[in-house]
Amino acid sequence: MTQPLGAELFDADRLTLVEAPAPVLSPSDRRAMDDAWEAAVRANPTLFDGPVVGCTALERDEPHAIVLTWVRATYRYYALRRTPGAAVRLPSLFAAVAQPSDDGRLLVGRMAPWTTSPGRWQLPGGAVEPPPDGEELTESALREHAARELAEETGIEVGVDRLTLWQVTRGENGSVGVLYKAPPRPAPWLHDRFDALTTSEHALGRAPELDRIALVHSPADLPRLAGPHVSYLRPVLSRHAHRAGPAQG
């Protein structure tokens, strides 16, 4: 299977978020968006057109300071990415966590078959939802969202104040990810937490969002993962391996 091209990475010590007006669609683009969304829902009835944040611009403020411009939208806007000739293609904004093991590897998870990206490997995380009307989207909210996604997808709980803003990634379709780094944990403990989560979810009659996890250190580990991976994973692992040094053990 052909893997996606790489993504841009930006070191980030500080993040500023600025809200912009929602995108204005022409009547033809709106019809195309609605048609594409309805087709997507027929193919995958689990899709939900809930509120979501789009990211329309990424700019450097200082060498390690990033300014993100965001807008309020719903998931159906993303259908325009697959609509030929659409004037608006809204990139997404997501937050994710790089969870290291104490031997120098990072945890990645494979999306379950029922999700919108079945079989895809990525860091634990997910799309960002907008705050209530009139309220600002803050970096603290992104950090809380990342911690919540980590717990919901892997069973690993970490205090928000222990997550460190690490990198910002931008994919070839313009989508932006804010990556946080968690404190290292023993590899067996990470697997135990995930196993406990999946056991609990199945007992409640629910299917976990991730059907498998793995620990990887560098891009050399990617071929052993069964399935595709997100575009940012290769450059993230390259930078991680360069800074962390060889994996232990």
DSSP string, 55-114: EEEEEEEETTEEEEEEEEEEGGGGGGGGSTT-S----BEEEEEE-BBTTS-EEEEEEPTT
Domains and CATH numbers, the chain: 8-244 (3.90.79.10)
CA distance 52 to 77: 9
Q: Are residues 121 and 233 in contact, defined by beta-carbon separation less than 8 angstroms?
A: yes
Residue 247 is predicted with a pLDDT of 76
Q: What sign has the CA pseudo-torsion 137, 78, 223, 199? A: positive
SS3 content of the chain, % helix, strand, coil (to 5): 30, 30, 40
Residue 249 is predicted with a pLDDT of 61
Q: What is the 8-class DSSP label of residue 219? A: G
> Which burial class, exposed, middle or buried, applies to 107 when counting CB atoms under 10 A from its CB (0-12, 13-18, 19+)?
buried
Residue 1 is predicted with a pLDDT of 30
233: left (phi over 0), alpha (psi -120 to 50) or beta: alpha
Q: Are residues 70 and 21 in contact, defined by beta-carbon separation less than 8 angstroms?
A: no
What is the pLDDT tens value at each position of the chain, 249 positions in all?
A: 333 446 899 999 999 999 999 888 999 999 999 998 999 899 888 888 999 999 999 999 888 899 999 999 999 998 888 777 777 888 999 999 999 999 999 999 999 998 888 999 999 999 999 999 989 999 999 999 999 999 999 999 999 999 999 999 999 888 999 999 999 999 999 999 999 999 999 999 999 999 999 999 999 999 999 899 999 999 999 999 988 777 776
* SS3 annotation, 18-33: EECCCCCCCHHHHHHH
Q: Structure pTM?
A: 0.92
Nearest to 141 by CA among 184, 149, 51: 149
